[in-house]
């Protein structure tokens, strides 16, 4: 049962469309995924125990047809796809991102929008994925790790501290703000149970604080994408109108190709409302804004130290060709940084680029993220096809045979994409797949 105050407000907003909205709420939630590449789409679809149908506004997005859970599927372990609600894929599609852009996802967990942005800006770009809650930040980092993202920084920080450290440092900022969750009522019983007008007002106040800080992080001429998964005008159009009154940003329409799947904003038509009765998926609101002016983004001193000798030797011995540049963070962690232009000084860093690993007792122990990001370029590797029993054995943590493999660190590839690392010795491969991820059955 919807709260009476909420139902009355939605009936006023939707008018003759309200019965269709009400009917949509009685249907099961719609599931979706984004294909992250690594194999052909036809082979990918054939390998899953569910049907796939295209999401029209996301070329790499698919609706799931079937009830099977996919979290333990080998292709999920391999980072070939990310499970994401279809409506949540739409906002980032509105951003005019280009390869090489620097993007901040301010409230990023669990990471779906961050992964979309990372794909759009490519390895020449830089993604900062921030999450203020440490437990959610761990989930965010884990999803970026599984996808093998090379160009990301993960921070666990307040928005005002990021704005102080990196003013005007980004071409685009994504603010998918904490909200009252009205668009998730069909999917999450908790959102329905906690709803109240007081919650709406508290969320609206927090969102204004976040918008004010997000504005400081966007370069002149850059973009701010504001989105929520709620329908309250207080949290959506009224907050956007308040923000525009500050005079630094202009509201821009969504790209033409997206407008057929949304309804215009209430009183601010360039905004977009994604309703479950209009397109399959849960509720979303999006507003695309551009900062007045045109200036290049700012760069900041890197503040990184020299690479430890053990790590340099590991890279030259493990990877084919010229190894990537690596460095040390101020706290001593060894990383392959995602590019130049930002400094870790003044922010709480969980991950800076790809964590390289640790020097232990005279030898170097690589991280799992290193293998996910660079494993395909390892000198030593086991290349497996889908259905090879060695792939499932690896995901269970079993040791593998490595006849003919030179001693040292190497990678296990599934359809060309790295599952994780091994350490070869004497014709056997010690399994380095993290114990916490060995949930394959």
For the annotated catalytic residues, the residue numbers are 229
Q: What's the rounded Cα separation, in Å, for the pair 98 and 92?
A: 12
Phi, psi (deg, nearest 5) at residue 51? -85, 155
Q: What's the rounded Cα separation, in Å, for the pair 45 and 68?
A: 14
When computed from its CA atoms, the radius of gyration of the chain, rounded to whole angstroms, is 23
Q: What's the rounded Cα separation, in Å, for the pair 41 and 63?
A: 14
Q: What's the rounded Cα separation, in Å, for the pair 38 and 80?
A: 6
**Is the CB of residue 113 less than 8 Å from the CB of residue 176?**
yes
Helices (H) and strands (E) in the chain, counts: 14, 23
Contacts of 229 (CB under 8 A, 6+ apart): 87, 88, 179, 181, 182, 183, 184, 282, 283, 284, 285
**Is the CB of residue 300 less than 8 Å from the CB of residue 288?**
no
Q: What's the rounded Cα separation, in Å, for the pair 330 and 256?
A: 46
Peptide bond into 305 cis (omega under 30): no
Give buried/exposed letters for 419-433 (b at 16+ CB in 10 A, else e): bbbbbbeeeebebbb
**Residue 381, burial from CB neighbour count under 10 angstroms (0-12, 13-18, 19+):** buried
Q: What's the rounded Cα separation, in Å, for the pair 190 and 36?
A: 30
**Is the CB of residue 122 less than 8 Å from the CB of residue 99?**
yes
Q: What's the rounded Cα separation, in Å, for the pair 149 and 192?
A: 35
- Report helix, strand or coil for 32: strand
């Amino acid at each position: 049962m919807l709260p009476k105050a909420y139902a009355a407000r939605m009936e006023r907003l939707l008018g003759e469309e309200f019965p269709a909205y009400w009917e949509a709420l009685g249907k099961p939630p719609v599931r979706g995924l984004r294909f992250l590449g690594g194999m052909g789409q036809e082979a990918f679809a054939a390998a899953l125990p569910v049907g796939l149908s295209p999401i029209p506004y996301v070329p790499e997005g698919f609706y799931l047809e079937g009830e099977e859970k996919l979290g333990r599927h080998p292709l999920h372990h391999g980072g070939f796809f990310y499970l994401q609600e279809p409506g949540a894929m739409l906002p980032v599609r509105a951003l005019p991102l280009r390869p090489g852009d620097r993007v901040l996802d301010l409230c990023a967990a669990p990471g779906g929008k961050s992964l979309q942005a990372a794909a759009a800006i490519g390895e020449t770009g830089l993604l900062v994925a921030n999450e203020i809650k440490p437990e959610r930040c761990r989930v965010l980092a884990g999803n970026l790790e599984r996808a093998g993202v090379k160009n990301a920084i993960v921070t666990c920080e307040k928005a005002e501290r990021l704005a102080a450290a990196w003013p005007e440092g980004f071409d685009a900022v994504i603010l998918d703000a904490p909200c009252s969750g009205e668009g998730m009522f069909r999917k999450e019983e908790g959102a329905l149970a906690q709803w109240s007008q007081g919650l709406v007002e508290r969320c609206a106040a927090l969102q204004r604080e976040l918008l004010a800080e997000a504005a400081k992080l966007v370069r002149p001429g850059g973009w701010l994408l504001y989105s929520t998964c709620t329908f309250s005008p207080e949290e959506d159009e009224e907050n956007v109108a308040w923000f525009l009154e500050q005079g630094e940003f202009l509201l821009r329409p969504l790209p033409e190709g997206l407008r057929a799947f949304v309804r215009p904003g209430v009183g601010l038509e360039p905004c977009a409302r994604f309703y479950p009765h209009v397109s399959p998926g849960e509720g979303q609101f999006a507003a695309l804004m551009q900062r007045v002016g045109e200036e290049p983004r700012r760069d900041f001193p890197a503040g990184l130290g020299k690479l430890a000798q053990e790590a340099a030797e590991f890279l030259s011995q493990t990877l084919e060709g010229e190894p990537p540049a690596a460095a040390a963070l101020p706290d001593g962690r060894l990383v392959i940084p995602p590019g130049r232009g930002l400094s870790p000084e003044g922010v709480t860093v969980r991950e800076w680029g790809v964590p390289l690993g640790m020097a232990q007792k005279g030898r170097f122990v690589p991280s799992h993220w290193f293998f996910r990001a660079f494993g395909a370029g390892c000198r030593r590797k086991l290349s497996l096809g889908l259905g090879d029993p060695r792939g499932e054995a690896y995901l269970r943590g079993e040791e593998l045979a490595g006849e003919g493999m030179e001693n040292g660190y190497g990678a296990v590839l599934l359809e060309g994409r790295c599952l994780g690392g091994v350490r070869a010795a004497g014709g056997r491969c010690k399994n380095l797949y993290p114990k916490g991820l060995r949930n394959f059955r």
